[in-house]
Amino acid sequence: MIYLLLSVLSSSVIFVIFKLYNRFKINTLQAIIFNYFFAFASGMLIDQRIPGQRVFFEPWFPGTVILGFMFIAVFYLAALTTQRSGLSVVSVATKMSVAIPVFFGIILYNESTGIIKISGILLALAAVYLTSIKKKEGIKIQKRNLIFPLLVFFGSGIIDTTIKFLETSYVVEADVALFSSTIFAIAGCVGVSILIIQAFMGKLKLSFKNVLGGIALGIPNFGSIYFLVLALRTKGMESSTIFPLNNVAIVMISTFLGILLFREKMLPKNWIGIALAVASIILIATSESWM
């Protein structure tokens, strides 16, 4: 459970850093690209081995290539969704994507189900939705823009599902840090390619504060993946339990951080979402003891 808590805390810190990006006018794309390399460096400090050419021959390497590209792609789609439909839509699409790895965990790995667990998962999805809505009128998406949150939903879900599959099938315990770092390294290389293209088009303006933003983001970003993988390896903890707990806890803690640090205002539906989040955590966490 400690690894799950550390993953949740790492992801919640990421939320705070993204909020600070707006305050200090940091270029989010550049900072995220730089962050991938600092996340990679964080993993290397933990692994303490020079990766060398052996990484390319690891059975999990092709999967990290796919994940690296998807990290950048989903980020870009999330940015488009934010511009066209708002931040709440992105938050809902990202967090509710937990349904995908939960479904595959139950189908592919024969993980436990039951009325209590299913009820907890449904409450978690409702909590994510209610907590993420920051306007009284709720979510409004034009039909022409519906494709973007759908792609974010499926992309985020596929990322989590792929991490679970690789962790279960190919990653040995000694390679968890290296596996996590490789994902970030590939994402960083893809990101640098984007910057090079922008430079040729005359649209690139680098700033040192964007590098600092990347440093600040790199460590918790690595932690969010590294500790999640370790949580998935915890005996007695199923992925269909871990993913909902992870997502709903991130939403809940991030909401409280928004209130405490940024004085964000809460709507009644947000407080209802928090109450449902607490209830869902209790149901999901205790569901296996009822089996």
Nearest C-alpha neighbor of 147 from the set 99, 80, 98: 80
> Can you tell me the distance from the alpha carbon of 216 to that of 220, in angstroms, rounded to the nearest whole number?
8
Q: What radius of gyration, in Å, describes the C-alpha atoms of the chain?
A: 19
By percentage, how much of the chain surpasses pLDDT 70? 97
pLDDT tens for 226-282 read 999 999 998 888 999 999 999 999 988 988 998 898 888 888 999 999 999 999 999
pLDDT digits 0-9 by tens, 47-70 = 887 777 789 999 999 999 999 999
Is residue 36 within 8 A of residue 184, CB to CB? The reply is yes
Secondary structure (3-state) at 157: helix
H or E element in which residue 65 lies: helix 61-85
Two tokens at 28? 């989010």
Rounded to whole angstroms, the Cα distance separating 261 from 273 reads 20
- For the chain, what are the domain ranges? 2-290
Q: How far is CA 101 from the centre of its chain?
A: 13
Tens of pLDDT, residues 131-189: 888 777 666 777 777 898 899 999 999 999 999 999 999 999 889 999 999 999 999 99
User: What are the phi and psi torsion angles at 112 (to 5°)?
Assistant: -65, 150
Q: Closest by alpha carbon to 11, among 95, 70, 76?
A: 95
Q: Are 182 and 56 in contact (CB under 8 A)?
A: no
Q: Please tell me the pTM assigned to this model.
A: 0.90
